[in-house]
Structures are given as C-alpha cells and as structure tokens.
Amino acid sequence: MSDELLKQIETKTSDLLKQVTETLAKRSEEKGQVSVSKMDENQLVHYNLSYSTAEKRISDHFTKYAFAKENGTGELEQDMARLFAGEAAHRLRSELASRKDEYGASDALLNDLFSPDMNKKIQELTSRDRYNKVGDAALTGSFGALATEDLKDIRDTYKKIAEQVVMPHAEHVHRNDDFVPDDILQSLLDNGAFGLSIPEEYGGYQDTFGNTGMMIVTEELSRAGLSIAGSLITRPEILSKAILKGGTPEQKTKWLGALATGEKMCAVAATEPDYGSDVAGFKVTADPVEGGWVLNGVKTWCTFAGYADSLMVLARTEKDPGLKHKGLSILIAEKPRDKGHKFDFAQPSGGKCTGSAIPTIGYRGMHSFEVNFDNYFVPAENLIGGEAGRGKGFYLQMEGFAGGRVQTAARANGVMQASLEAAVRYANDRKVFSKPIADYQLTKWKIARMAMIVQASRQYSYEVARLMDNHQGLMEASLVKFYASRIAEWVAREAMQIHGGMGYAEEYAVSRYFVDARVFSIFEGAEEVMALRVCARDLLAQALGQS
C-alpha cells in the first residue's frame, strides 16, 4: 500500500475527529468558556476523545517518521506504521459510530469511513500477512530503527549501565522490597544522570542532550529496572523545572547545581491522603514564623522521601479558602537521608518529620512514603520564588509535572521494550505441540502488535521531547503519558500471557514488568484526570479558539 493511500485515511480520520471535537466544544461552552460541569455530563465521550486524539496524533507522527528516509527507517517501520494507522482508524470509526449522537458525529463523514473503499483499505493495512511479516522480524530481534544517531553515545552509555549495573539487582530488590543499591546510584552520579534536565550554566547537561537525551536515558534505565533506576531522575527534573520557572536567582544558584551533581537528592510531596489530583482541597499548611515557615499535615505517595534530603512540598500558605489552588506555594523541606522503610527526624526547634513506606505490589526500591509534618520548620529562603512565589505553587509544580509526564511515557516505553524482549525470548524457546510458540500465528500477531506499539509510542515521545525543548508541547506531553501508560499494561500483559504459567511465577522478570506497568496510569496524574481535566478540556478550549 502506498504512502498516498495512508494520507487519504489520515485526512478522513482527521476531518471526523476535528468535527467531533468542535461539536463537543460547542456543547460544553458556557459564556465563551469550556464548562467542566457540562463536560462531566458525559465523561465517557470526553475520556475517549482524549484517547482517540492521542492515538491519532501518534499514528500521524509514526507514519511521517516511518516514511522519512533521513530517519534511517525502512520497510519494517513502514509496515508498523501501516498497521498502527489501520488499527487507529478502525477504533476511531467504531467508537464514534457506537455513540454517534453523543459525539455529534457527522453522518456524511462517518459513513465515508465505513465505505466499501475504506473498509478495503483498512483491511489491507491490517492484514494477517502484514502482522506475520512484522512479527517474524521482531522474533528475530528486529525492533526498528531508533532514529537518534546524534544521541547514540548517550544511549550506548546508559544501555551498558542498565545491563551491567541495574539488571543484576532488579529482581532481588523487587522480591525483597530492598532499597536502591549504592552502585546504581553511584553509576548515575558518575555519568551525570541527575543533571539531564538542568542547563549547563548550573552544571547540568540539558543544553547538550535536550529532553530527548533525558528520554533515552530514562527508557534504557526503565528497561532494566523501573523503580531502582528508571525513576531516579524524575524527581530532580520536577523540582529543577519549578525552580527554573519561578525560583529566585539565589535559589537557582544554590539548588540547581546541587541537584545536577546529586549533592541534593529530592522527592516530591504533593498528594494528600484525601486529595489526589484535586489540589484545590489540599490541607497541608505552611504558617509564617520568625525566619520562615512551619509545615503541618500529611502528604502521601512521596516516592524516594526516605533517602531524599530535600522534599518539594506543595502547601497552603494563603488562608483564604476561596483561593483554592491559588493559595498554594512550594517549599523545600530539608531532612537527613534514610534508606529504611521508616524515618523519624526531630528538629532542635521541636518540629518533626516522620515517614512510613507504603507496601505496594510493584514499583519497589525507591519506596513511596506517607509523610507527616508536625510544626516542621522551613527557612524563608526555601520558599520557591520568595514572597513573589506565594500562591504560585500549583503553577510551578505543573511546569515540573509536564516534564515528569513525558518522562513517564519514556518509563512506560522502557518497560514495554523489556516486556517485548522477554516475550520474544520465551516464544522462541518454548515449544507447545512439538513446535515453538513463535511459529503460531496468534503469537506472531501479539509480538507484531507489541513491537509496533513500542516503536510508535517511542517516536512520538521523542517528538514531544523536541517540542518541549522549544517550550511547547505541554498538552502533547499529557497525551503521550496517557496513551503510553494505558497501553503499557496491554503490552506487559501479553508478554506475561506468552509465558503462560511461568509468567505468573516470580522466576521470570515478566511478572515484575506487569505489576510495574500498572503504576503508570496512576502516578504523575491519574489517567482519568489526564483525560478529562487536562487533555479533553484543552482540546475543547482550542476548538473554541481560547488558545
């Protein structure tokens, strides 16, 4: 099938998705703005609008990438792009047709997508022979070009670290819920991993490698061990971006260099026990005292809070309840490092900071804590932005979370790649009814689809990283986080299924990939919040011409 026919499908699906988005925007409009309450009358269609848009944008970019000769791609990527485009087009038309009136889908545009000619094109794109062809290539270890020759050295460096330093520890730490081994921390420190999101003027490497370099490092480390390596550089990225956006010159000088070298290790204390993404209800307070502030209240899901000596705390500094999220500020609370599952630190002034690790089914190693602050003193100089930063904490944190979201996509890509590789190894080795399961057509379909998804998600993640290098791509970061997080569960699940009973045993790492993949749709913004409060709302706002 020619590239031209792919473009025809791309155009038709784009027209229909644009029409539906505009219709939903008009239905949600109230006084010229998007009304969240009106959107909530039918959350399902807005959730699915976000997913369909994410998949559509990934498909369009994947096609562009696969057919661009300068990327070093070839027939394998092109067949992957055809499969992805065919699946995406079919899912879009089926979803919209099933709720045509709720979406306000045009009869003419929808019928055109179900025409005999379109049916034939989609059938050809997603033919059994094409799945078999891609599956056979993946089963021989051909997963597609990476198209990052300019960053090959950093990939090679961290692939070596991943395989020689991280992988030997991954299963032990997971099964015993141990802490991140010292040699992993030291390897990342020695190779500048903590400075990838920090400009060179502060001792980092962002200007050299950009966000794409950060994505590559995250992907390689997550492939080896998500919670003992792949997630280590997320926290300094979130804090450094908040400081770069709103910190004082003195704070930038003090903190960014220390974060880049690993002199300071940080954690993020945002979520509260009764409030996840609903930041307007946050109750942890920061009250002014002589020389600074005192923190009171409980934060939860503070990953790495034990070992971190600096906690990025989103707290309520303004007492007017009507301010909601505009009454929040960011303070950096300092404490000693601790590798255990519990910590208890008392300040000379009498303030206390205690933490207890929350048992989890996966994502073990860094430990996620519930942290309690009891009149815990934070000096005035640790209020990000100083007095000018009061009430701006939510916006500064969102600046950091945008980077964290695209990095989550890279983490998901790494776990998916590990799952794919494990599935390929087992499928080639395991025999059922006297032949390798790799020879069965259903296995080939699964492997082909896994390889196609990983490559499509990876390449769009790189594209979003490039957008972010140019101070763009905030919504795209949420879209790719939403997509990669959700689809990672399917990839890990199918890798586990290919292993059969052994996939359910801890003897094989694929069981770890499965429980680790589950966390992606929860942290850095739950997928429902991503879909409804970020992606869908922004898509509708754009359709109304608000941005």
Question: Tens digits of per-residue pLDDT, 124-179?
Answer: 999 999 999 999 999 999 888 776 777 889 999 999 999 999 999 999 999 999 99
Tokens of 34: 């998007």
Give domain status of residue 224, yes or no: yes
Residues 77 and 122 in one domain: yes
Confidence of residue 399 (pLDDT cuts 50, 70, 90): confident
Average pLDDT over residues 407-421: 96
**Domain extent for 330:** 266-390
Tokens of 223: 């492939």
Give domain status of residue 23, yes or no: yes
Alpha-helical regions (H) of 352-440: 393-429
Does residue 509 register a pLDDT over 80?
A: yes
**Half-sphere exposure of residue 192, counting CA atoms within 13 Å on the CB side?**
18
Residues 419 and 507 in one domain: yes
How far apart, in whole angstroms, are the C-alpha atoms of residue 162 and residue 155? 10
Average pLDDT over residues 387-398: 90
Average model confidence (pLDDT) across the chain: 93
Residues 293 and 320 in one domain: yes
DSSP for residue 359: P
Residues 239 and 272 in one domain: no
The domain spanning residue 424 has which CATH number? 1.20.140.10
Confidence of residue 387 (pLDDT cuts 50, 70, 90): very high
What is the pLDDT at residue 69? 81
* Secondary structure element (H or E) that encloses residue 355, with its range: strand 352-357
The domain spanning residue 44 has which CATH number? 1.20.140
Domain edge (last residue) among 229, 261, 293: 261
Does residue 317 register a pLDDT over 60?
A: yes
Beta strand 352-357 pairing with 342-346: antiparallel
Give domain status of residue 333, yes or no: yes
Residues 289 and 370 in one domain: yes
Confidence of residue 106 (pLDDT cuts 50, 70, 90): very high
Does residue 346 register a pLDDT over 60?
A: yes
Residues 23 and 92 in one domain: yes
Tokens of 306: 């034990």
Confidence of residue 452 (pLDDT cuts 50, 70, 90): very high
What is the pLDDT at residue 226? 95
Average pLDDT over residues 9-15: 93
What is the pLDDT at residue 431? 87
Give domain status of residue 541, yes or no: no
Confidence of residue 282 (pLDDT cuts 50, 70, 90): confident
Residues 232 and 304 in one domain: no
What is the pLDDT at residue 1? 44
Does residue 412 register a pLDDT over 50?
A: yes
**End-to-end CA separation in angstroms for the chain:** 38
Tokens of 363: 């994502």
Q: How many CB atoms lie within 10 A of CB 439?
A: 15
What is the pLDDT at residue 144? 82
What is the pLDDT at residue 356? 97
Alpha-helical regions (H) of 99-166: 100-103, 107-113, 116-125, 128-139, 152-161
The domain spanning residue 233 has which CATH number? 1.10.540.10
Domain edge (last residue) among 211, 235, 261: 261
List, in sequence order, every beta strand (DSSP E) within 208-291.
266-269, 285-289
Tokens of 291: 């020389």
Residues 249 and 271 in one domain: no
List, in sequence order, every beta strand (DSSP E) within 393-461.
431-432, 435-436
Among the listed residues 303, 323, 305, 325, the one whose alpha carbon sits nearest the alpha carbon of residue 314: 325
Residues 245 and 322 in one domain: no
What is the pLDDT at residue 71? 80
Residues 233 and 308 in one domain: no
How far apart, in whole angstroms, are the C-alpha atoms of residue 458 and residue 470? 19
Residue tagged active-site, from 334, 370, 463, 524? 524
Give domain status of residue 315, yes or no: yes
DSSP for residue 373: E
Residues 166 and 117 in one domain: no
Tokens of 4: 């031209």
Average pLDDT over residues 284-309: 95
Give domain status of residue 195, yes or no: yes
Give domain status of residue 374, yes or no: yes
Does residue 384 register a pLDDT over 50?
A: yes
The domain spanning residue 361 has which CATH number? 2.40.110.10
Number of domains in the chain: 4
What is the pLDDT at residue 146? 75
Residues 373 and 409 in one domain: no
Does residue 11 register a pLDDT over 70?
A: yes
What is the pLDDT at residue 276? 58
Give domain status of residue 143, yes or no: no
Residue 485 vs residue 434, higher pLDDT? 485
The lowest-confidence range among 59-73, 113-127, 269-283, 399-413 is 269-283
How far apart, in whole angstroms, are the C-alpha atoms of residue 156 and residue 151? 9
Confidence of residue 279 (pLDDT cuts 50, 70, 90): low
Does residue 496 register a pLDDT over 50?
A: yes
DSSP for residue 509: T
Q: Is 524 a catalytic residue?
A: yes
Domain edge (last residue) among 367, 390, 413: 390
Whether the pTM exceeds 0.75: the reply is yes
Question: Tens digits of per-residue pLDDT, 453-479?
Answer: 999 999 999 999 999 999 898 889 999
Percent of the chain with pLDDT over 90: 81
What is the pLDDT at residue 280? 66
* Cα Rg of the chain, angstroms: 24
Tokens of 355: 């933490």
Tokens of 128: 């059994």
- Per the listing, tokens 């905030």 go with 474
Does residue 516 register a pLDDT over 70?
A: yes
Question: Tens digits of per-residue pLDDT, 187-210?
Answer: 999 999 999 989 999 999 988 999
What is the pLDDT at residue 278? 64
